[in-house]
Chains A and B, each alone.
Chain A
Amino acid sequence: MQPAIPQGPQWGQPAPPPGYAGPAAIDQLNPYAPIPGRIVVAGLTKQFKRIRAVDNLSFTVEPGSVTGFLGPNGAGKTTTLRMLLGLISTTSGVATIGGRPYQDLGSPLRTVGAALEASSFHLARTGRNHLRILCAAGGLPESRADQVLQLVGMTPAANRKVKSYSMGMKQRLGLAAGLLGDPQVLLLDEPTNGLDPEGIRWMRGFLRGLAAQGRTILVSSHLLAEVAQTVDDVVIIAHGQSRRQGKVADLLAEAKQSVRVRTSHVDQLLTALGSQAAVRRTSATELYIDNVTSKEVGRIAHQAGVEIDELSTVQADLEEVFLQYTRTGAGIR
């Protein structure tokens, strides 16, 4: 049964007539449009007793794309993911996957896989038994447990109790649980949290592999740099509200680029650059010049006959860009 579609400008057009399934004509903003693998969050709000954890949040994740869901700690990322998964009730708004709320998915594990926090295991149970229990509940063959354990490299620890697992192993087990139904959509909440550098590298590579298989992935993180190489799109939130959405490439372009020059003839070069250039002199022999290319600086120096010891492009800190969108007080409320 399809729930009533909320009407109003924020929802775009009203629902398509019953029985109509031509995707081309279905409005892009209709959260109930039956487009497999698409995630729609529309006007989502969660009011806890005192705190508005998520505030009129809207975004879509298109099938096959990998989206970074970014925000500082306490921004509402986990609450949003849990609302998407039907674990937390919504105060208002809707969240759908493939056009349906999670509770209405026929076989949820085959449609959506989720890896939330890595502490959700019975410590006295083995990793393999944890997965067998989920297989039984989700109508999946129990052989899937062994398959996903192999996939995440956990076969040697399969029959050990979870209490003996390291943080990295728990993260892998959580990921394995999400992959049980071989779902097209994956929701991952801070999958690299608490991992050592080697674990982080493994997790990144693994996620890239999943993305390359054409899965829709929504991965949350409080570090932009953490996911910048993996994701296509970003949704940045702070205080439960959307702050910035778009291609990660566009966001990266916003990161200020500077050219770093080392020369023993700083004054000569300054004169040659002219007064318009945004120049910071960091030492007697070093300059940073904003909003120019290193090629241009090289040409100017060459024309002025200034000998240059070093010329390089410096990418401003990615986190600076991220902070610029999220910095409006601490995430602790």
Chain B
Amino acid sequence: MTGLLRSEYLKVVTTKVWWVMLLGLLGAVALALLVNGAIVTNEIQHGHETQSLNTLAGMLYTSGQYFGVLFAAIIGTLLITNEFRHQTATATFLATPKRVNVIVAKFIVAVGWGLLYALICTVIAIPIGAAILSGQGVSSQLGEGDVVKVILLNLVAFGVWAVLGIGIGTLLQNQVGSVVTLIVAFFGSQLVGGLLSAAGQAWNLDWLRGTFYYLPYGATQVMTSAGKLDAHAPAWWGGMLLVLAYGAIAAAFGSWLTTKRDIS
């Protein structure tokens, strides 16, 4: 397995996609820190009545997550769809005819990459976030269990989205199709979820109101927020279970398909 992991690791670092994504990620973190910094500063100056300090701190420390999880998912998807796009699947499965092992190695490497991206985001967001808070005369909140939990779960979020990315890649095989599907799923689930929740609000249907938080991106937000986001949202661990379930389903189905497929 170490050989396979090295093989998959080499596949990532021998093309330039991973650092192009990293550049995009750094841009996303910078943008998110600007926006979140403004929101948090405004909230604190107005007595942070609507959201607790922990929630605000958590928001700062997970800056970059919004696009970051998408980047992690795309890295995961590329790891598998590259094999089909460039027909390297032939050589890959000749070297390792037990295809499940290849998929498992890809999952591990993709999750690792997701975690690396998350770490880079976090390492940048914590000192700058803490500086923004102290600029408003507020402590960093890093001693708070809820905030630490959010920071750690943010790492999990990147990992799970990488798994989701691989799952969709194994399912669709087509590279462009997979990336487009991911982007549509990412923004689409927010849009559809948001609309359904709004409809629930308008017609006073309680079961509809929480829809947003049960779709992949909403569940990720639930998982990585300190405190409850919304009365209709599940608890943080419910969000985590949901996100893990989405990842697991995509992974299991995709792996099964890959072991069955003819490689030609």
Verify that A and B bind, or say they do not: yes
- Bound form: Cα–Cα A250–B264 in Å: 34
Number of A-B residue pairs at CB separation under 8 A: 82
User: B7-30 interface mask toward A, CB cutoff 8 Å, 1 = contact, 0 = none?
Assistant: 100110011100000000000000
User: A28-65 interface mask toward B, CB cutoff 8 Å, 1 = contact, 0 = none?
Assistant: 00000000000000000000000000000000000000
What residues of B have a CB within 8 angstroms of the CB of A129 in the complex?
10, 14
Q: In the complex the two chains form, is A88's CB within 8 Å of B97's CB?
A: no
Which of these, B15, B95, B262, contacts A134 with CB under 8 Å?
B95
Which of these, B4, B14, B95, contacts A126 with CB under 8 Å?
B14
Interface: B136 (CB within 8 A): no
What residues of B have a CB within 8 angstroms of the CB of A114 in the complex?
94
Q: In the complex the two chains form, is B15's CB within 8 Å of A85's CB?
A: no
Q: In the complex the two chains form, is B10's CB within 8 Å of A136's CB?
A: yes
The chain A residue with its CB closest to the CB of B9 is A136
Q: Which of B80-88, B153-161, B233-241 contacts A (4 or more CB under 8 A)?
A: B80-88
Q: In the complex the two chains form, is A109's CB within 8 Å of B95's CB?
A: yes
Interface: B90 (CB within 8 A): yes
Given contacts A124-B16, A125-B15, whether A137 and B3 have CB atoms under 8 Å apart is yes
Given contacts A133-B10, A136-B7, whether A87 and B86 have CB atoms under 8 Å apart is no
- Bound form: Cα–Cα A119–B95 in Å: 17
The chain A residue with its CB closest to the CB of B4 is A137
The chain A residue with its CB closest to the CB of B2 is A136
The chain B residue with its CB closest to the CB of A178 is B94
Chain A residues 104-154 with CB under 8 Å of chain B are 105, 108-109, 114, 116-117, 119-126, 129-130, 132-134, 136-139
- Bound form: Cα–Cα A198–B90 in Å: 28
- Bound form: Cα–Cα A132–B91 in Å: 12
**Number of A interface residues, CB 8 Å?**
34
- Bound form: Cα–Cα A177–B87 in Å: 14
What residues of A have a CB within 8 angstroms of the CB of B90 in the complex?
87, 116, 120
Which of these, B3, B7, B98, contacts A103 with CB under 8 Å?
B98
Interface: B96 (CB within 8 A): yes
Interface: A82 (CB within 8 A): yes
Q: In the complex the two chains form, is A122's CB within 8 Å of B15's CB?
A: yes
B residues touching A (Cβ–Cβ < 8 Å)?
A: 3-4, 6-7, 10-11, 14-16, 82, 86-88, 90-98, 102, 260, 262-264
The contact sample of 25 A-B pairs, CB cut-off 8 A, is A82-B262, A85-B97, A87-B93, A87-B264, A88-B262, A105-B97, A108-B94, A108-B95, A109-B94, A114-B94, A120-B86, A121-B86, A122-B86, A124-B15, A124-B16, A130-B91, A133-B7, A133-B10, A136-B7, A136-B10, A137-B4, A137-B7, A137-B92, A137-B95, A137-B102
